[in-house]
Amino acid sequence: MQKQAERPEDHLSIDDLRPLPKRRRLPRRPPVIVFNPKKCTGCETCEMVCSSRNVSMVAPASSSVKVLRSDEQGTNFAILCLHCREPLCIEACPTRAIEKGKDGIVRINDLFCVECGICTMACPESAPLVEPTTGKIRKCDLCEGDPLCVKHCPEEALRFYRGKPVRWIRFLRWPVQFLVFLFLVVILVGTFCSFKAGVVSLPCPTGTLQNIAATKTVVVTGLASAMVLICLTVIFGRFFCGWFCPFGFFLDLVGRITPKFGLPAFLKSRMIKYGVLAGAVGGSAGLGFQAFCTICPIGSICRSYGAQGVVRGAELAIFPAIATLEIGERRSWCRYLCPVGAVLALAAKFGLIKIVIGAPQCKKFSCMQCAEVCPMGIIDRDALREGISPQVPMSECILCLRCVDQCPYGAAKIRFRWQKAVPGERE
């Protein structure tokens, strides 16, 4: 038999008839059912009432929610569609039968569904259930906004939730960043590099290192003052980068308006900043003056507004030039190049604080809002897709707390290193 295309070129394909929707603005508070495994007793009431709506019978095998039991661990879990922000089932469905409505609810359109089961294959938790008797695909549709299972769960393990309305941390962080910027750049003539107010000085740790290397002497008060920031970083992490660095503030502003094109792979190693630090210290030792400080963008931005007003053209050139890296990735300078960040990262490795993603109410792969908003890109999407709580490397985290702020379910938290906050936390 000759191999012949069943469909000549001028026939329509599914992309012509039902194209994939363009990325649309999602509702700010999308509805979802949050499940609390601690409260679930495995009574299957949710299955009973769900099936009562699906097939007008009490038939747990025909429900859109499945209760799993583990006799060995004594735990129960309800598998149901989480109405992902970026549903994988929509991508995979060959007949484009699945749609995400304006209300955020993901629905299977019976007119187009051929019950192939590919959505079940694509879903990270196989939430679309295949009804054993008919082969029909049953998937939660939130009962069009008023879920029955939530109403009837005797232990209130299922909760219908629209996400928390007010995200307030950013209302604290932006003003703080702005005020510090004002303080260090405009008001004070001195800079972060060598902030002095009489006896007290708060020099940059990298600058201090370069100073020591260049002058081959250690000024104890200078070193002690530099250690203040280091000690605070050991306790609280790289909060300086997220809340106080004036260049960081500038990058955040620029980042809000520039598009992102990505960076070439060779630039995307987080070890480069340690190399820059080593180069800065080595260069200072060799050249006899603080080499890096002359081209440092943080210093540049601090020094750009001198007593004479905005002057010193050379200074004005440096920090905007480096800020153009924002078209690659957000905070790419901070991620890959900043030597100050490198010193603070080394200190933060021993920190007492950690960010925990994935408390029981975390929606993992279906939400990934934290990974979206993290400026340092350290929240592992692959782990979320696998249903694992990602380990957040605190040496990279700048503690901007955008993840904690934006998580609609309060599943991202800030905790002490010794506290166990999520199930199955990877050690």
The distance of closest approach from Cβ of residue 40 to other proteins in the complex, given in angstroms and rounded to an integer, is: 9
How many whole angstroms separate alpha carbon 318 and alpha carbon 377?
25
How many whole angstroms separate alpha carbon 150 and alpha carbon 192?
54
Q: How many residues bind other proteins (CB under 8 A)?
A: 73
Binding status of residue 23 toward other proteins by CB under 8 A = no
Choose between 363 and 402: whose C-beta lies nearer to other proteins: 363
* R_g of the chain, CA atoms, integer Å: 27
Q: What is the dihedral of CA 62, 67, 71, 75, to 10 degrees?
A: 180
Can you give the three-state secondary structure of 282-349, one letter per residue?
HHHHHHCCCHHHHHCHHHHHHHCEECCEECCHHHHHHHHHHHHHHHCCCCHHHHHHCHHHHHHHHHHC
User: Which of 23, 24, 25, 72 touches other proteins by CB under 8 A?
Assistant: 72
User: Which of 31, 48, 215, 320 touches other proteins by CB under 8 A?
Assistant: 48
Beta-strand (E) ranges in 80-173? 98-100, 106-108, 129-130, 137-138, 158-161
Stretch that binds other proteins, among 74-82, 162-170, 249-257, 278-286 (CB under 8 A): 74-82
Choose between 134 and 324: whose C-beta lies nearer to other proteins: 134
How many whole angstroms separate alpha carbon 73 and alpha carbon 410?
26
Stretch that binds other proteins, among 60-68, 242-250, 273-281, 393-401 (CB under 8 A): 60-68
Choose between 51 and 233: whose C-beta lies nearer to other proteins: 51
Going by C-beta distance under 8 Å and a sequence separation of 6 or more, which residues neighbour residue 352? Answer: 234, 235, 236, 416, 417
Choose between 330 and 363: whose C-beta lies nearer to other proteins: 363
Binding status of residue 62 toward other proteins by CB under 8 A = yes
SS3 at position 216 = coil
Binding status of residue 160 toward other proteins by CB under 8 A = no
User: Which of 32, 33, 34, 49 touches other proteins by CB under 8 A?
Assistant: 49
Would you give the DSSP letter of residue 422?
S
Going by C-beta distance under 8 Å and a sequence separation of 6 or more, which residues neighbour residue 183? Answer: none
SS3 at position 420 = coil
Binding status of residue 58 toward other proteins by CB under 8 A = yes
Choose between 32 and 296: whose C-beta lies nearer to other proteins: 32
Choose between 120 and 215: whose C-beta lies nearer to other proteins: 120
Site for other proteins in 260-319 (CB under 8 A): none
Binding status of residue 421 toward other proteins by CB under 8 A = no
- Backbone φ and ψ of 10, nearest 5°: -85, 5
User: Which of 103, 155, 278, 324 touches other proteins by CB under 8 A?
Assistant: 155
Binding status of residue 61 toward other proteins by CB under 8 A = yes
The distance of closest approach from Cβ of residue 131 to other proteins in the complex, given in angstroms and rounded to an integer, is: 8
The distance of closest approach from Cβ of residue 2 to other proteins in the complex, given in angstroms and rounded to an integer, is: 8
Site for other proteins in 94-153 (CB under 8 A): 94-95, 114-118, 120-122, 124-126, 131-133, 135, 148, 151-152
Site for other proteins in 353-412 (CB under 8 A): 360, 382, 385-388
Can you give the three-state secondary structure of 209-261, one letter per residue?
HHHHHHHCCCCHHHHHHHHHHHHHHHHHCCHHHHHHCHHHHHHHHHHHHCCCC
* Phi-psi map region of 136: left, alpha, beta (phi>0 left; psi -120 to 50 alpha): beta
Letters for 187-226 (x = contact with other proteins by CB under 8 A, - = none) are ----------------------------------------
Choose between 51 and 191: whose C-beta lies nearer to other proteins: 51
Binding status of residue 77 toward other proteins by CB under 8 A = yes
Structure tokens at 109: 């359109």
Q: Return the closest-CA partner of residue 97 out of 13, 11, 15, 18.
A: 18
Q: Note whether 193 and 185 are within 8 A (CB).
A: no
Stretch that binds other proteins, among 38-46, 193-201, 286-294, 322-330 (CB under 8 A): 38-46
Binding status of residue 231 toward other proteins by CB under 8 A = no
Choose between 16 and 102: whose C-beta lies nearer to other proteins: 16
Binding status of residue 423 toward other proteins by CB under 8 A = yes
